[in-house]
Structure 1
Amino acid sequence: MLFGKLLPREGNFYEMFNQHATRIVEAAQAFAQLVANYDDTNLRDRYTREVDAAERAADRVTHDVNRLIHKTFITPIDRDQIHTLINTMDDVADLLQDSAETMALYDVRRVNEEITRLTDLAVKCCERLKEAVALIGGLADAPTAEAALKTCEEIDRLESDADRVMRSAMSKLFREEPDVRELIKLKAIYELLETITDKCEDVANVIEGIVLEHS
């Protein structure tokens, strides 16, 4: 019993979730600026660095959460849920960084309408993710729990929109792009951006499970 009393009983998990979600939105918004200013190489480099910085900050939060799990005697929600949530959130940050790096490594020369639309949907998903994460700490309140579920449903709808944009983009790409190298580049970018929305939906599914169990 003395051992249990010496260990933290709660930890600051909710605040750390919020910190990570903030870093995700920062990375998403920086990536959106990268896309919007793609023709300016100086701005492109600047926003790539901002994406990297946000992803590294998110990594540090993930590390701190995973370490705190092992130091906390009683956690506010199930340990597996904490672990799954923070690591799935970190996947979103990683994918944003991967998208920025891939555009540079593949020497993508231009940004088209499909990249812009998928980026917009990815940013919206990340922003809704942040809203949903912010509600987790108040699940004992029924309206808060309901708001969290509605936000998760919105993420699901945005992911479905991204699926439709992705299918249309791929169809257009294979019908109209004569340069095989450019086709390969754009296909990879489309897939990465759509995967960001998929991973946001995975986060939403974890949150929904937490809501249903704890509200």
Structure 2
Amino acid sequence: MFSSKKTDPFFAELLKIAENVNEAAHYAEEFKIVSVADIKEFSIKLKNYETEGDKLVHGLITMLNKSFMTPIERDDILEMALKMDDVIDGIEHFSSKLEMYSLAEIDDSMREFMGYIVKSTDEIVKAVKLLATKKLQSMFEHAVLIKDYERQCDEILRSSMKQLFIREKDPIRIIQFKDIYEELEDIANYCQDVASTIESIIMRNA
């Protein structure tokens, strides 16, 4: 099923998608928002990453439509691409909500969420690199780590919601922060979906 000569072009494209997601996540974590003016720059940059992700996925779909043979099931390739695209879409939605609310307060809970999301996208890149080198069984440990990070985000969501209702009296701010926390948890869930897809690929091809 696999050629040992060089990286299959489909795996190379999946890696480009994964690296774009990873770069966007690192940017989101590292960018320092100190004022409302910073949010616009932040949102524009992440929109650019999201747009690039859409182009990469579209290119991969075009390749799939033109190719008779694929290294693994074409549905697996497509699902992997789309699940990774969900992650970058979620990160872009997070930035757009900050802009919509003019919310420049990045609190500890948001930083914790983003830390685990970055770790998850690091693991996604590692797993896709292993896929490209046909080391399927080695991908499993990265899927396990991603799912563990998602569980950590579940805990952050519960604790952050509890603290939000304790400390905050303004109902508008409660709505805003609650929405942001839930968006970040959604991104962690999207990463978990990628991990589940990785596990499916392993089971069907190892």
TM-score (norm 2): 0.91
Contact 2:123/2:145, CA 8 A, preserved across alignment = yes
- 1:40 Cα deviation (Å)? 4.3
Contact 2:13/2:56, CA 8 A, preserved across alignment = yes
Q: Does 1:39 align with 2:34?
A: yes
Q: Deviations over 1:65-104 (max 9, x none)?
A: 1121111001111111111111111111100100001101
Counterparts of 2:85 and 2:106, CA distance in 1: 26
Tell me which of 15, 26, 30 is aligned to 1:29. Answer: 26
Tell me which of 56, 64, 89 is aligned to 1:61. Answer: 56
Counterparts of 1:107 and 1:43, CA distance in 2: 10
* Equivalent runs, 1:79-98 vs 2, <5 Å: 79-98=74-93
Counterparts of 1:47 and 1:95, CA distance in 2: 14
- Change over 3 Å in CA distance of 1:43–1:33 after alignment to 2: farther
**SS at the partner of 2:175?**
helix
Q: Does 1:74 align with 2:69?
A: yes
Gaps of 5+ in 2: 1-6
- 1:55 Cα deviation (Å)? 1.2
Higher Rg: 1
Contact 1:85/1:203, CA 8 A, preserved across alignment = yes
Indicate the residue corresponding to 1:20 in structure 2: 17
* Equivalent runs, 1:63-212 vs 2, <5 Å: 63-139=58-134, 144-212=135-203
Counterparts of 2:36 and 2:63, CA distance in 1: 41
Gaps of 5+ in 1: 1-9
TM-score (norm 1): 0.88
Give the length in aligned residue pairs: 200
Q: Deviations over 1:94-138 (max 9, x none)?
A: 001000011010121412111111111111111111111111123
Counterparts of 2:30 and 2:41, CA distance in 1: 10
Aligned-pair identity (%): 26
Counterparts of 1:148 and 1:84, CA distance in 2: 16
Counterparts of 1:22 and 1:45, CA distance in 2: 24
Counterparts of 1:165 and 1:118, CA distance in 2: 7
Contact 2:54/2:85, CA 8 A, preserved across alignment = yes
